[in-house]
């Protein structure tokens, strides 16, 4: 089991999650974060920190695709451990659905 970041994170990036992870296993893309499933210790402390409710345990149904996305991009995107500045329009995107097609494969800047 692991926790995964899902669609709700796209274009939000509040990054409250990265500050609490004890093993620093978040990785930054251009418009979302992912968790490295091989590094996550399943502690669950990040889940309630996410205002977008984007972090879920992979034991929930229908998350196979997001587990793949987290696994794939955590291998190439840079590690992020410190909360950055959230985009000005983050609140506008928070509750939008159907954002998956907006997912950018480009890496973020990390820290
Ligand atoms: S707090 Fe939630 S929406 Fe923000 S970066 Fe972390 S997972 Fe994404
Ligand atoms: S569940 Fe724990 S170890 Fe896994 S990403 Fe969240 S804070 Fe980090």
Q: Which ligand is nearest to the CA of 45?
A: 2
**What is the model's pLDDT at position 30?**
93
Q: Are strands 33-35 and 26-28 parallel, antiparallel or unpaired?
A: antiparallel
Q: Is 79 exposed, middle or buried (0-12, 13-18, 19+ CB in 10 A)?
A: middle
**What is the model's pLDDT at position 95?**
75
Distance CA 10, CA 92 (A): 11
**What is the model's pLDDT at position 98?**
84
What's this model's pTM, rounded to 2 decimal places? 0.94
Domains, in order of start, for the chain: 3-83 (3.30.70.20)
- pLDDT tens for the 111 residues of the chain, in order: 999 999 999 987 678 999 999 999 999 999 999 999 999 999 999 999 999 899 999 999 999 999 999 999 999 999 999 987 777 777 777 778 888 999 999 999 998
With the most atoms of ligand 1 within 8 angstroms of its CB, the residue from 2, 15, 24, 91 to mutate is: 15
Q: Which ligand is nearest to the CA of 57?
A: 2
**What is the model's pLDDT at position 60?**
95
**What is the model's pLDDT at position 13?**
64
**CA angle centred on 94, ends 91 and 95, rounded to 5°:** 125
CB-CB neighbours of 83 under 10 Å: 15
């Amino acid at each position: 089991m692991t926790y995964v970041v899902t669609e709700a994170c796209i274009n939000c990036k509040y990054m409250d999650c990265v500050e609490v992870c004890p093993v620093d296993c978040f990785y930054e893309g251009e418009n979302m974060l992912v968790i490295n499933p091989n590094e996550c210790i399943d502690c669950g402390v990040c889940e309630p920190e996410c205002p977008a409710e984007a972090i879920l345990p992979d034991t929930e149904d229908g998350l196979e695709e997001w587990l793949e996305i987290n696994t794939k991009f955590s291998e190439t995107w840079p590690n992020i451990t410190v909360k950055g500045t959230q985009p000005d329009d983050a609140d506008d995107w928070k509750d939008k659905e159907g954002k998956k097609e907006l997912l950018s494969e480009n890496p973020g800047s990390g820290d």
